[in-house]
Amino acid sequence: MKDFKYIGKSVPRIDAADKASGKIKYMSDLNFPGMLFGKILRAKYPHALIKKIDTSQAKALPGVVAVVTWEDVPGLNGFGIVVPDQPVLCEDKVRYIGDAVVAVAAETKEIAEEAIKLITVEYEPLPIVDDPIKATQPDSPKVHTDGNIHLHTKISRGDVKKGFKEADVIVEHTYYTGMQEHVFLETESGVSKLEEDGTLSVYAGSQYPQRDQMQLSRCLALNPRKIHVVSYPVGGAFGGKDELTIQPILGLLALKTKRPVKIVMSREESIISYWKRHPMIMKYKTGVKKDGTLIANEVKIYADTGAYASLGGPVLNLAIEHACGPYKLSNVNIDGYCIYTNNGTSGAFRGFGVPQATFAMETQMDIIAEKLRIDPVELRRKNALRRGDIAPIGNRLTTSVGTVAVLDGIRKTKLWQNREKYLVNDFKKPWIKKGFGIALTYQGTGLGVGLPDYGGAILKFCKNGGFEVGVGLVDYGQGIGTSYAQIAAEAMKCPIDKINVLLGDTDTTADSGPTSASRGVYTGGKAIIIAAERMIKILKSKASEILGVSADNLTASDGCICASNEPEKKVFYEEIASRFMNETCHLPQTEGYFLMPVADIKIKDAFGLPHNIFAFSAHLTLIEVNTLTGQTKVLKGAEVIDAGDVINRQGLEGQSEGGFVMGMGYGLFENMIVEKGIFKTTNFSTYIIPSIEDAPFEIETVTIVNPEETGPYRAKGVAETVMGGTAPAITNAIYNAVGVRIFKIPATSEVVYTLLKEKEKTE
């Protein structure tokens, strides 16, 4: 690592100054001359037939330029990454309270709002499907004509029955996880504009501009080449902008009015309208031998995807892949359902099904450790998957596996070393009880088997001897822009301030797949390295002409090409650039494309499974519970992370701390209440995310040495694993503190208090 100039260092974010100074323009900041304002009429009922839509009064309102319904959608009135089952504008039925029915473009925001009120829609309300398990029954009302089961995935390996017979202890529990909102700072917002040449520009923050372009071309019946999508900069995403949001309606209004149209979601509208983390019900039955060896696991998962599929199927499958944790288990039976209901609509969210399964499995592990009186770290270590092992769903782990290393790394944290001291209760406040908890998690990198998974990068040589890197992925806060600059600077042996990174634009960046699945650094980074190798060859060949030294004897170093054995014989990149310009009026450009390596097998009937590369992390928490109120306070946190080799130390710490706090919100606070399809917590005074006053003062980030040889500079992605284990680490700590087991998150104060009271009654 010490040979590197930028890799592994704490490089300040390349966008920090522009973001801190407010210079950066987000899509919601954009304004164009003659711009109109769009507004969307959403469903009045969570489940209803549309009988009639009357827009005449709205159309007649002065200042209204266009009112559009399903009839105006020129192409397929449907979008969805896997199945396009969500209408751009509903025709005959609404399936959740955020469904879009009519859209308006008007001269001002106020007129648009007024026009929305003048639209009348006649509905015939239908029975609401709000219980995912009941929804699977044949007599349940149907959200979609084909029934409420969007996907059923079943994986069986070994002999579970035999396993349970051999087990000394069987632990059986049902787990519930809540619906979580992404809470990106910038709501779904943007501007669409028809250019003079007929191109439709769509400026809206998202995670994959090229796929947006494809989906938009389908809805709008436009040649994709005539759609220019700009999806960066974006004020946060966390998975919530992977799927389309407002873009098809924006595009439709711009095409209809031939004027720029802007839509900015209010927080309330954003919350009812777009994606959430799937609430899951998970039934676990785990068999274990006396010595702690896991022998059988039977898991049933019900994932509530709400009204539309979006990425619900893949989310379920990822939960299934990770349902048994990173443990050796050869008798497994995992049965999962992804179910349509009228409970909003769920989709991609950091962790993608894994935080749910991790909460369940890591609680099982904690219960087993206690029952068998085995140290929780030791129990996990005993069962830990190692490189070369077969994972529970049947694939062999051929890449780096950090399970044992992160478990051993726990001992390196200050939190572990001092836990006995930290756990001493304040004798003056006997009602405050401290507890310590751990959880282990892992997360597949990339999209999995059977899905096109590639990275692409364009590298342009610039006059100043620097380079422009264009990758279609998006920096939505995780810091890949900076990582790409580091990788490009390192690979090109060029000062980092001469690297200009372009992201998220269908015109200037290469399709590099979605910014999701912890794949950004891995795929984009590899593509940059490939493009850089090609560029170095070109530079060497030109330098060879200039220096009169054979290209084989040249080395790139510190912004110049020099003779390998005569370093003073050199030519700077800038000179090479001017030579190119003088000779051809043109500077070279290279491209790099990289195909993600995939696992050795496909899992039958489980699309996308298995994954090939995994990141691992162990999460530690020190908490205190106020037994009088049930309040849990997280005092300290630590994460031990297997990130391969680290690209940006400071960036990793940011991910780790942010992921920890997001996981804390998931475990303790965030409770999206949906009653009979109606959202009750549509703003931040009712939907409670942790504030900085709730975050622990210290969150340690410890990395272990475990390079991933296939990765860019031996790195792998960690954006999700850093979030996945925090909730169970906290709920396990709550048990450690006060002896109540949490089977349902979030464990709000009232939940913990009620459990404490029940426990008191039974004692």
Partner 1 sequence: MKALNYLRADTIDNALQYLDEFKQDIRILAGGTDLVVRLKQDMIKENNILDISRIKELNGIFRKNGTIHVLPLTTHTDILESEVIEKYAFILREACATIGSPQIRNRGTLGGNIANASPAGDSISALFVQTAKLKLKSINSERVVSIEEFFTGPGKTILEPNELLVDIFMPELEENEIGFFKKLGQRNALAIAVLNVAVKMRRSETGTNTFDRAVVAFGAVAPTVVRGRRVEKAIVSSSLDSPEQIHYIAKLSFREVSPISDIRASLKYRQDMSINLLYEGLLGLSANDWKRKA
Contacts with partner 1 by CB under 8 A lie at 110, 428-429, 431, 626, 628-629, 631, 669, 673, 680-681, 684-686, 688-694, 748-750, 753-754, 757
Shorter beta-carbon distance to partner 1: residue 589 or 631 = 631
Where helices occur in 101-259 by DSSP H, the ranges are 109-117, 132-135, 160-166, 209-220, 247-257
Shortest distance in whole angstroms from residue 680 CB to partner 1? 6
Shorter beta-carbon distance to partner 1: residue 174 or 431 = 431
Say how many residues make up the chain: 763
Dist. CA 677–CA 98, nearest whole Å: 10
Residue listed under structure tokens 């031998």: 289
Dist. CA 460–CA 335, nearest whole Å: 49
Shorter beta-carbon distance to partner 1: residue 709 or 763 = 763
Shortest distance in whole angstroms from residue 612 CB to partner 1? 40
Asked if 361 and 284 count as a contact pair (C-beta separation under 8 A), the reply is yes
Shorter beta-carbon distance to partner 1: residue 1 or 673 = 673
Shorter beta-carbon distance to partner 1: residue 463 or 757 = 757
Asked if 449 and 615 count as a contact pair (C-beta separation under 8 A), the reply is no
Shortest distance in whole angstroms from residue 343 CB to partner 1? 17
Q: Which distant-in-sequence residues (6+ apart) come within 8 Å of 466 by Cβ? A: 494, 495, 497, 498, 499, 500, 573
Shortest distance in whole angstroms from residue 25 CB to partner 1? 24
Shorter beta-carbon distance to partner 1: residue 136 or 681 = 681
720-744 core/surface letters (b: 16 or more CB in 10 A; e: else) = bbbbbbbbbbbbbbbbbbbebebbb
Q: Is 413 exposed, middle or buried (0-12, 13-18, 19+ CB in 10 A)?
A: buried
Shortest distance in whole angstroms from residue 109 CB to partner 1? 9
Nearest CA among 736, 721, 739, 741 for reference residue 325: 721
Cα pseudo-dihedral 646, 647, 649, 652, rounded to 10: -80
Shortest distance in whole angstroms from residue 61 CB to partner 1? 16
Between strands 294-306 and 332-340, the pairing is parallel
Shortest distance in whole angstroms from residue 757 CB to partner 1? 8
Shorter beta-carbon distance to partner 1: residue 222 or 271 = 271
Shortest distance in whole angstroms from residue 695 CB to partner 1? 9
Shorter beta-carbon distance to partner 1: residue 237 or 674 = 674
Helix (H) or strand (E) holding 362: helix 354-372
Shorter beta-carbon distance to partner 1: residue 117 or 162 = 117
Helix (H) or strand (E) holding 557: strand 554-557
Shortest distance in whole angstroms from residue 22 CB to partner 1? 17
At position 737, the amino acid (one-letter code) is A
